[in-house]
Each structure stands twice: as C-alpha cells, then as structure tokens.
Structure 1
C-alpha cells in the first residue's frame, strides 16, 4: 500500500515545519513524479499496488459509516464548536468521496471555509494560523500507522498527535473494507502506549524485531507481544532492540533493514554492542523476557539461527558519507525479493557497496521524496507476501 504525495505537501510552511514533523518542503510536482517511478518499479515486478485513499473510499460505502468517519475526523482535528462541526461536516459531505478523503489529507485552509466562527479564546489567539485543520504531510510514509504481521494487523497509537490522526484511516479500512474487515487486530489505536510501523520488522516466519525507539514505547511492545502469542501464529519470538532516542534514529528501519536472508544494511553506529530483549510466550497471559547483550551480528545470528550474517554499513567506512547518506535514508531499503531492493539514487556510496555485495538494485529518483526523512521501506506497507 502506497500514498501518492498530494496537496498536503503544498500546505507545508517554514514556520510550522516542526509542528508537522518535517525538515523541508518537497516540490510536489517532482515528488509525485518520483513516487510514480517507485510505483511503476513495483508493478513491473508483478506487485499489486494499493493506494491508501482508494482503500479508505472503498470502506465508506455505508452512509452510517461515512457519517461516523467524518465526525470522528473532525473531533480528532480539534473542531469542538457545534456550529463549526456542522459547517465542516456539510463541506466534506458535499464533496465526491475520494476528493473528500484527499481534502482531509491535505488539510483545510481558513480561506476555504467562509462560515467558520471563532468562539473560544484559543481560536482568537491563533488568528494568524492559516489552517482550520492541519495537513498530514507524513502520509506518504505508509509504513507507520499500521503494520501487517503475518495474517493479522496492528493499528497503532502514534507517538505524536500530528501523526496519530493518520491511523483513523487504518481503523476504517480494517473495520469496514469488504476485503480487510475480518482481519484480526493485535493492537488498537486507542491504546495508552505508542508503537509505530517503522519499528516493526518481520525477519522470518518465526522472528520479529521491534525497535525500542523515540516513537515506540516498551510497554506497547509487551502488549503487542502478549496479543500476538495469544493467537494462532507461526511467530515464536520478538527481539526488542534498544536504539538511541533521537530523530536521526527515529525508527528501527531507518538504521537497519534486511536485504537478503543473511544480509542487512545498517547505520554504522549500531554495529557495536547493543542491548536487546527476547520476548517469548511463557503462558497464556505472560511473557518470558530474556535480556541479550552483544553485537547486532551476534544477536541476529543467535535468534535467526543463521551463521555468517553480513552487516553492510551505510556509507561504508567513511564517517562523512555515512552521516550524509543516513540523513537521506541510505539504510532504509525496501526488499522486494531475497537479494533485491529498491533504493534512493542519491545514496550512491551505499548503493555501490550493496551492488558489490551482490544485491540487485532498483534505483529511484529521490531529490524531493527524501526531504520527508524516509526511504523506500518507509513509503510502503506490504499487506501480503509470498512464502519463499
């Protein structure tokens, strides 16, 4: 599942980038061209490409569901006054369903709604703020709001309010879409603790890795593990890997992704001794938690039962190249088959190293997509993968 970047990127402003978790403003026309290139590579590999906005629209076939969706969206957007709720609900429902969803994603400028009333002090204090409803510029990183784990799904409580609104789309897809409404949920968006999809990596049919990160709380990992092990599943253990709690590390998949059965690309800063914990089922209502201290290579070989695992460093042995290419998600590859990945063109040092390691590269343009601080894996959410 992908989301083609839309008008939400054109609602980014320098003054409010931090509020919306962005560092720069991509040029939409080129970002869309790059994203289309990404989608075409997937299609050329016989991958069925789904789009987030289409799945949401297909989930809103019942009038009652549609009304509930709009009301819930407005509540989470912070629209509290009854008059304004009615005005915005009428506005959204006057649109074609797909245009409505795209408008929700883009945000609503004050200039687009003429009959909105200021009632509360906060509304007067924000009189210079140009939006009634904030845009959702992070949506093209479809990896994070939910995750498919085997034949089940986790719908996430995101770490920030800005991104937590995105998971409303997942809620309606997995509750009302005719194709996906019966999929079992392992986590729900109303949970207390945050977990995000970029921290969840399926390593094989028995082992998951989950990052304890800036955006994924250890309590959420434990709740997810308990829920998973209560179901019929092939997964036997979760490796919870403790990574630095800072934006440059953000999620586990920004510093560590799988490119083959026995090969991983990593940020050099995580190849040293690390703290991890193996979570396994103890009984129906509890977990066995085993601390593991060792290098990432040792931890992976021990839990995957694979000898000779190769860790390929983003940027190679150059501190400068590693820092630059890590900033542009050189470690965030999308593996589409064993030994075959999609990567950003700008990370040419890492790409050359991967090529020399025998990894088949599908290279996409990346001048604008990379400005959102996410790579090909971040921009994709696999629903179903073939057993190989």
Structure 2
C-alpha cells in the first residue's frame, strides 16, 4: 500500500506533484492574461527549461516527483468512470451550453487518454474540436454566434502550474479545494479524478477532508458558492497544528468546514486562522510566510507584522469549536511547534527591495528537508539573509516561471512529507 500524507512543512519531502508548463500557457495573450490571472505572457519553452531544472534539483535530493498531466492521463486510461465523470463535469450545460453539451461530450469521449488530458488542462478551441458548426448553427445560438474558430470550447487552465492550490494534503488526508476565481475552478475536477481513481491513490489509505465522497464510485464536486479555499493558504506545520490564511482567496466559512472534518476524525488538534489584508501582491499566506527549518521562518514584515491569529480547537459542551485570539502570530506558531522562540528571517534589502523581492516570491520557498529550501535565484537579498542564518538555499532560475507570481512553494503539491 502506498503511504501518503503531509505531516509538516519542513520534514523530509518524499513525494510531490508538479505541473510542467505546456499548452495552457501557450494560450496566454496580452488580451486574455488578466482574465486568466497572469500579469504577463510567458516564453513557454524557457519556462519549461526552468521547470525541468527545478524538478531535477528535487530529484537530485531524493524527492519522487510526479507530473500532474501524466497522472491525469494514467487516470483516464485506468478508469472509464473517471473519464465519463470528468467529461460530464467539464462539459456541462453551464460550461458549454444546453445546445452544445452532447456534441462536446461526444468529441471529448472519443479522445485517447493523453489527448483528453492535454485538452482538459490546455483548453480546446473550436478548430481543434472538429465540431460541425454549419450543422449546429441551425440549432444552437452558441454555435451561431461563433465567428472565429480560435474561440475556446473549453477554457485553458494555466494556473495548473501552481499545484499547491487546487488540492492540499493535511496530515493523513487531502482537501480538494473550491477555488476563488472562476478561471481556476475546473482545476479541482482534474485533481479530484486523480485522487479518486489513479491506481497509486486507490491503493493508499487516506481521508478526503473536503469534499466528502459519496458511497458510489463518483467523486462529489459541487457548486461551492462563496466559500473558497486555496492550498497556498494552508500549512500543516506539525504537532497537529494547521495554519490557514484568511486571505484574498480563502474565507472563514471554508476554514470552519475543513476544521470540522479534521477535528471529527482526529486529523488535527488546532487550526490557526491567520487574518490578512487582501491584496494581489500577497494573495496567499505562503507569499509572505513559509517555514525554513524546525524553528526558522521567513516573513514579509510589512504584511506579517499586522496579521491576527485566531486558534480553533474542538469545542466542548456541545459547541462546534473553541476559539481563542492569540496575542501574536509568531509566538503562537512557536507555541504550536514547541520551540522557545522562532528564528525569523525577514525579506532582505531596504523597503524598496523588500517589496520587490516579496513580489518576486522571495518568501515563497519550499523545504526539501529541515534547513534546506529552494528559492528563485533573483531574490539575492533574502537568500543572503537565509544563508547567514544557516539555511541551505538551493537556487533555481525564475525569469519566466516567476511571471506567474508563484515560487517553489506554489509550484509544488507535497504528497508525502515526514513529520518533524
């Protein structure tokens, strides 16, 4: 049986899921990149090279790296149920229209697994679909309105690059996350299929913290309304504690949902909600705070000096939760980790350079083991401070990857990580 679970933020990383830049990023243009949540278009070939080197450095350190698209292809090949359910969810009356749903589902169902996986992530244009618009225009207002065969039947999902967000492993289970922006919500369907039907996960014993799975052989994905959660806000730091940022993209409503599931099955003992200001520059907790070692963290002080920390524990006397507001975030984290005091490495440089390096993901580093992290080489001031504090920093290029506003932490979904 495969052993999966993420029991800390800095214990030795054993298995991780990443997504290599591909078709979806080739779809970015100066016209559409804002709607797809990117600040710029990427030189995809260069981004692939940078990502390959990032993966190579993790593998050199003994990390087993899985590519999301490979896992999705293998899932579709292994399970007809997964294929059928994904096609139904992706091409629904709400995504492609009442008049087109049967036609689009037929096109997708006929694709071999590798091709279907490519288009579920990369998007599908009218030209690529082979739909007979001449025939359909007499029965579909959607088809009648199409005047350019480069229009999308299915949208691309370029933010799949940031595998941290659509799902996150918390101790002995996983949360498949309801994403804040519509441009990202279809990502959750793909990872749900992988976790439910891929042989590696089917052979492993783990919990689904969210959403709850039904007894039938279908994964339950619903309209989450205004309650959203993204994995960049979630950090299982160890000792039964989970930090969850209340950020631009994660709300208290979902924090309570996940906390209830964790507490009900003894998956965690304490959830610390970190109340942040809402801003594109620090969209998730991990853009301003990550762990470097058992007792060391990196923070962006302009944001983290002003956060509030609220701890949730299992309730007593019939209450769902017992809630306390902490005196300070960092002291609460030290308490949770059972260390006397945290070593705090702030973003490097003067006020201007700090702002630049936070924007370039200077604080968004991923630990390979205690005291060893991966960082973008461009954040020279912050890296220097980490090294002065005794942290080993493995550097990677980020000239193109960095344009997506996500570093090593964002680009990795740990599947197995040791406890502290």
The alignment's TM-score, normalised by the length of structure 2, stands at 0.86
Matched, 1:176 2:197: yes
Per chain length, whose mean CA-contact separation is higher, i.e. which structure has more relative contact order (CA < 8 Å, sep 6+)? 2
Corresponding residue number in structure 1 for 2:240: 206
Corresponding residue number in structure 2 for 1:280: 313
C-alpha separation in 2, matches of 1:3 and 1:161: 20
C-alpha separation in 1, matches of 2:147 and 2:385: 52
Task: For residues 141-179 of structure 1, give each alpha carbon's deviation from its aligned partner in whole angstroms, at most 9, with x where no partner exists.
Answer: 000001111111111111111111000012112222223
- Give the 3 Å change call, closer, same or farther, for CA 95–334 of structure 1 in structure 2: same
Check whether the contact 1:174–1:183 (CA below 8 A) recurs between aligned residues.
no
- Give the 5 Å matches for 1:1-388: 1-60=17-76, 61-75=78-92, 78-82=95-99, 84-114=100-130, 115-116=132-133, 117-118=136-137, 127=147, 130-181=151-202, 182-188=205-211, 189-190=221-222, 191-192=224-225, 193-233=227-267, 235-283=268-316, 286-294=320-328, 296-316=329-349, 318-388=350-420
Does 251-260 or 117-126 show the bigger shift?
117-126
Stretches of 4+ moved more than 3 A in 1? 116-129
Q: CA deviation at 1:81?
A: 3.3
Task: For residues 332-370 of structure 1, give each alpha carbon's deviation from its aligned partner in whole angstroms, at most 9, with x where no partner exists.
Answer: 000111100000111111111111111101111110000
C-alpha separation in 2, matches of 1:141 and 1:154: 15
C-alpha separation in 1, matches of 2:306 and 2:43: 40
Structure 1: 5+ residue runs without aligned partners? Answer: none
C-alpha separation in 2, matches of 1:204 and 1:77: 41
C-alpha separation in 2, matches of 1:310 and 1:221: 27
Q: How many residues are treated as equivalent by the alignment?
A: 384
RMSD: 2.0
- Give the 3 Å change call, closer, same or farther, for CA 243–279 of structure 1 in structure 2: same
Structure 2: 5+ residue runs without aligned partners? Answer: 1-16, 212-220
C-alpha separation in 1, matches of 2:41 and 2:396: 19
Check whether the contact 2:288–2:304 (CA below 8 A) recurs between aligned residues.
no
C-alpha separation in 2, matches of 1:120 and 1:76: 13
